[in-house]
Structure 1
Amino acid sequence: MSSLQTLIFYATPEHDCSYLEGKKATTMFVDPRAKINKDLYSKLSVLGFRRSGNHYYRPHCGQCQECIPIRLPVNSFTPSRNQKRNLKKNIGIETSITPPEFYQKHYDLYEKYIIARHSDGDMYPPNEEQYRSFLVECNPGTFFLEFKYKGELIGVSVIDELIDGLSSVYTYFDPASSDRSLGVFSILWQIEECKRRALNHLYLGYWIKNCRKMEYKTLYKPVEFLINGQWTLYNPDKTI
């Protein structure tokens, strides 16, 4: 089994940034041949790495430090009024955990979601091979969370369990259910699931100050940013 001391890392050539127009990005990847267990994955997460399929990565841009790892200390979380309203709105939703396998009903929902919501992104057009490599190929601690309303599947979240928390990998849903804000509902569910499992943190990926797609992550309070190697409580009044 690999360890932090034995891992080999690779950096990609510069490419167009997916989040900031006109910016170039470089990504650092863990050697895909490395064997990553929950303990090592947890240590990588504390260092700001994320998982996509069987790849573990983090931004490694020489001239830009805009991508900041973000996590939520769940035991300090206090829901806002809007978040409480979201919970009330979704009282009728049933949730269930399933193994991380390929389900045709999941893929059909994913395809519908990408076409409707991300036709301008690098996941469009969706296809089964891309879906499998992105979400079905996973870590041993991965599970799928299904959202159903009146027996119909309306959303899925892909979640990883770490030593100290959960990592929110991806959520997709039926565009016809957009008014339910299932992305918000999923995060609120994951916060409570962390507490049920006696885990301290929910890892939310990266936050970028000037990216509107990332703004929602600081609506869960309090959150911590990884800055200069230290997890620090976010202070909206302090310049980052």
Structure 2
Amino acid sequence: MRHSLPLAPQFYVTAPQPCPYLPDRLERKLFTALQGEQAEKLNDSLSQQGFRRSQNVLYRPSCSECAACLSARIEVAKFKPSKSQKRTLKRNAHLRRNTMSPWATEEQYSLFRRYLDARHADGGMADMDVFEFAAMVEETPIRSRVIEYQDRETKDLEAVCLTDVLSDGLSMVYSFYEPNVPKQSLGTYMILDHIEIAREAGLPYVYLGYWVPGSQKMGYKANFTGLQLFRQGRWQEMKDRDDYGAETHPLSTDPIAEQVANISLPDTRG
């Protein structure tokens, strides 16, 4: 009797391109396809090792001379809202949360376009059309949800987050919101609400994506207590943001082959 073993995922590296977070730097990503019956196990395992999902791909920064990007997650049990965050919760008490299957709508895309045009007009997603937007939301081989935040009275859609449900937490894959109400701090509010969702579900973590020291647009992630950063192969509690730098060095990252060899893959038997 012949036994066939499941194929291990293959890892690839993107060509260097301009970094979207730090000036005068090049970014490079290590990535693998997310597909097949074991997609959820692979997503869980690699998310716990600093990877992020984009549609059917899992990726992690692997720049040749820079290790500034650090995967960040909030330990729900250790989170305590600041006075500012408590005010943000009060300012958005008029919003109602709606959780649904990953299905794109014209109303979502309209909000998405306003958000991009106001906040990321020169970013990599600036030219995304409605079909590409639908693919971003709907092409997921794992357990994902779209979480909408709607004004209770006007019914206007004010914020949206595409969220993956992991075995140990919630991963905020991509969020966008009404850019014309900056005082509402909607980006912060969505994170605060995801912490509450995770607490209600008994999930220990909320995954935020990457925090980048030296990048103003990513600085808000360091404002949450209970923050952990994936660094040197393990999750570490963040204590002082000044302990982390964005300097470059030719020995900042291990060779690609060594990085891949150190990735722990899930047991797909049974």
State, as a whole percentage, how many aligned pairs show the same letter. Answer: 32
Indicate the residue corresponding to 2:227 in structure 1.
Answer: 223
Indicate the residue corresponding to 2:138 in structure 1.
Answer: 136
Cα RMSD over matched residues?
Answer: 1.8
Contact 1:139 1:160 in 2 (8 A): no
What is the CA-CA distance between 1:239 and the residue it aligns to? Answer: 2.4
Residues 200-239 of structure 1 deviation map (CA, whole Å, 9 limit, x = unaligned): 0111111111101111001010211111111110120662
Distance 1:26 1:237 in 2: 24
Indicate the residue corresponding to 1:26 in structure 2.
Answer: 28
Contact 1:54 1:133 in 2 (8 A): no
1:1-240 equivalences under 5 Å are 6-31=8-33, 36-149=38-151, 150=153, 151-236=155-240, 239-240=243-244
> What SS does structure 1 have at the residue aligned with 2:72?
strand
Residues 39-82 of structure 1 deviation map (CA, whole Å, 9 limit, x = unaligned): 22111101110011111101111211111111110011000000
Indicate the residue corresponding to 2:252 in structure 1.
Answer: none
> What SS does structure 1 have at the residue aligned with 2:243?
coil
Distance 2:242 2:213 in 1: 12
Contact 2:35 2:141 in 1 (8 A): no
> What SS does structure 2 have at the residue aligned with 1:176?
coil
Contact 1:73 1:224 in 2 (8 A): yes
Question: Rg larger in 1 or in 2?
Answer: 2
Distance 2:64 2:128 in 1: 31
Contact 1:10 1:31 in 2 (8 A): no
What is the CA-CA distance between 1:136 and the residue it aligns to? Answer: 2.6
Task: Pick which of 134-143 and 37-46 moved more.
Answer: 134-143
Distance 1:104 1:133 in 2: 13
Matching residue's letter, 1:18: P
TM-score w.r.t. the length of structure 1 is: 0.93
Task: Pick which of 125-134 and 77-86 moved more.
Answer: 125-134
Distance 1:79 1:142 in 2: 26
Contact 1:114 1:125 in 2 (8 A): no
Residues 107-139 of structure 1 deviation map (CA, whole Å, 9 limit, x = unaligned): 111112111221121111331132123233224
Residues 80-103 of structure 1 deviation map (CA, whole Å, 9 limit, x = unaligned): 000000011111111110110121
Residues 163-190 of structure 1 deviation map (CA, whole Å, 9 limit, x = unaligned): 0000011111122333211111100010
Distance 2:41 2:34 in 1: 17
Q: How many equivalent residue pairs?
A: 238
TM-score w.r.t. the length of structure 2 is: 0.83
Residues 7-61 of structure 1 deviation map (CA, whole Å, 9 limit, x = unaligned): 1100011111111111011111103555553222111101110011111101111
Distance 1:81 1:97 in 2: 27
Gaps of at least 5 residues in structure 1 are none
Gaps of at least 5 residues in structure 2 are 245-270
